[in-house]
């Protein structure tokens, strides 16, 4: 007698074209699963004669009390003050509300790491720590009905829950401050050009360049990865092509370190005013340069994103977008 193959939750998921976690949520009758998806999965369960065991039902109903944090795979991620402070705030907030945090690195072109957490029901929801153009992580989480909050702004998805600062306005204001302090030729050093925060800040900078009719050339703009080394190389490149530059917008604290290291190393003797973001913890290490800093209040950003996610998990109504105020010092 041929033994009949046991039908598994994976077989149901494959047949229905959804994830295992989605099947589990259908079994538990989660409200965040659409009626169409529930109908499709239940039809497959009936077709395959799949009956979830008591253990399977228990696992499906399990609440992990874990919040997943999706970290960018930057080489110097943990050196970046923004992420250090945001992570600390998220961990403290989650713990105060009875949740633990799980960290996962996610390559910008893959969702493998996120899938591992979701398919194993290891997290109840996720926080994405950076917004990028055409983010596959957002699409995956939406398709699989996983609750999540984005720190940043998605260009393609206006219907998701997020926490951000007004990066366009902040960089616009910062650039104007440099102009008011006498700068006529201002360069720009940003992070990854596929990072939404870089794009928003570049737009703010360019709006003032056009508004004030400032000198502008493509050699005055550099976009690289978020590393100290790229800050060093970027300022070196800009100054080699523009010796008379008198102002510089630097959109990231880690990149800013590289910029200051280069200017200090070469004993740059000309007056240059620097505008940057998130460098409030390091402004004292070289006082030879005049610096204006945008404090994006990353602790508040981390706290707000975690509270929003847990409120969502608790079934509370929350805003789609929360904007955290910034301060320029």
The arithmetic mean of pLDDT across residues 234-256, rounded, is: 94
Which tokens go with 105?
């690195």
Entry field: residues in the chain = 329
Per-residue pLDDT band for 58 (boundaries 50, 70, 90) equals very low
d(CA 188, CA 262): 16
Is there a contact between 99 and 65 (Cβ–Cβ < 8 Å)? Answer: yes
Domains of the chain (ranges plus CATH)?
A: 9-61 (1.10.260.40), 66-165+299-328 (3.40.50.2300), 167-295 (3.40.50.2300)
Query: Which strand (E) or helix (H) includes residue 90?
Result: helix 81-96
pLDDT digits (tens, 9 = 90+) for 151-174: 999 999 989 999 999 999 999 999
Check residue 306 and give its pLDDT.
97
* pLDDT digit string, tens, across residues 132-144: 888 889 999 998 8
What pLDDT digit, counting tens, does each position of 8-22 carry? 888 898 999 988 778
327-328/100-106 β-pairing? unpaired
Per-residue pLDDT band for 79 (boundaries 50, 70, 90) equals confident
36 burial level (CB within 10 Å; 0-12, 13-18, 19+)? exposed
Please spell the DSSP secondary structure of 146-178, one letter per residue.
Answer: --EEEES--SS-TTS-EEE--HHHHHHHHHHHH
Model pLDDT for residues 60-75, shown as the tens digit of each residue: 555 788 999 998 877 6
Residue 129 to residue 147: CA distance in whole angstroms: 14
Question: Rounded CA gap, 289 and 269, in Å?
Answer: 10
b/e for 190-213, b at 16 or more Cβ within 10 A?
A: bbbeebbbbbbbbebbbbbbeeee
Give the residue-averaged pLDDT of 170-198.
95
**Binning pLDDT at 50, 70 and 90, where does residue 120 land?**
confident
Radius of gyration of the chain (CA): 24
Mean pLDDT to the nearest integer, 181-188: 96
Mean pLDDT throughout 117-145? 89
**Backbone torsions φ then ψ of 9, nearest 5 degrees:** -65, -30
In the predicted structure, residue 39 carries a pLDDT above the cut 70? yes
**1 pLDDT higher than 50:** no
């Amino acid at each position: 007698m041929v033994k009949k193959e046991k039908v598994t939750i994976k077989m149901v998921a494959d047949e229905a074209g959804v994830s295992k976690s989605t099947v589990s949520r259908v079994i538990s009758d989660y409200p965040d699963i659409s009626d169409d998806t529930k109908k499709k999965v239940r039809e497959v369960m009936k077709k395959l004669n799949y009956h979830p065991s008591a253990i399977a039902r228990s696992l499906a109903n399990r609440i992990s009390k874990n919040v997943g944090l999706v970290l960018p795979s930057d080489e110097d991620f943990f050196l970046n003050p923004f992420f250090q402070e945001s992570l600390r705030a998220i961990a403290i907030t989650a713990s105060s509300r009875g949740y633990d945090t799980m960290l996962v690195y996610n390559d910008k072109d893959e969702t493998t790491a996120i899938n591992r957490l979701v398919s194993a029901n290891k997290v109840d929801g996720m926080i994405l720590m950076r917004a990028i153009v055409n983010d596959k992580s957002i699409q995956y989480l939406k398709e699989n009905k996983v609750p999540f909050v984005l720190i940043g702004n998605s260009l393609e998805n206006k219907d998701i829950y997020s926490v951000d600062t007004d990066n366009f306005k902040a960089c616009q204001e910062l650039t104007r401050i440099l102009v008011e302090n006498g700068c006529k030729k201002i360069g720009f050093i940003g992070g990854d050009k596929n990072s939404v925060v870089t794009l928003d800040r570049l737009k703010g900078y360019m709006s003032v360049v056009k508004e004030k009719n400032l000198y502008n050339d493509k050699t005055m703009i550099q976009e690289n990865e978020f590393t100290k080394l790229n800050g060093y190389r970027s300022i070196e490149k800009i100054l080699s092509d523009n010796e008379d530059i008198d102002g510089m917008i630097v959109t990231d604290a880690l990149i800013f370190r590289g910029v200051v290291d280069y200017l200090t190393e070469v004993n740059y003797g000309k007056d240059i005013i620097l505008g940057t973001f998130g460098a409030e913890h390091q402004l004292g290490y070289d006082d030879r340069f005049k610096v204006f800093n945008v404090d994006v209040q990353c602790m508040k950003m981390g706290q707000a994103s975690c509270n929003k996610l847990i409120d969502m998990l608790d079934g509370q109504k929350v805003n789609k977008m929360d904007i955290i105020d910034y301060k320029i010092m």
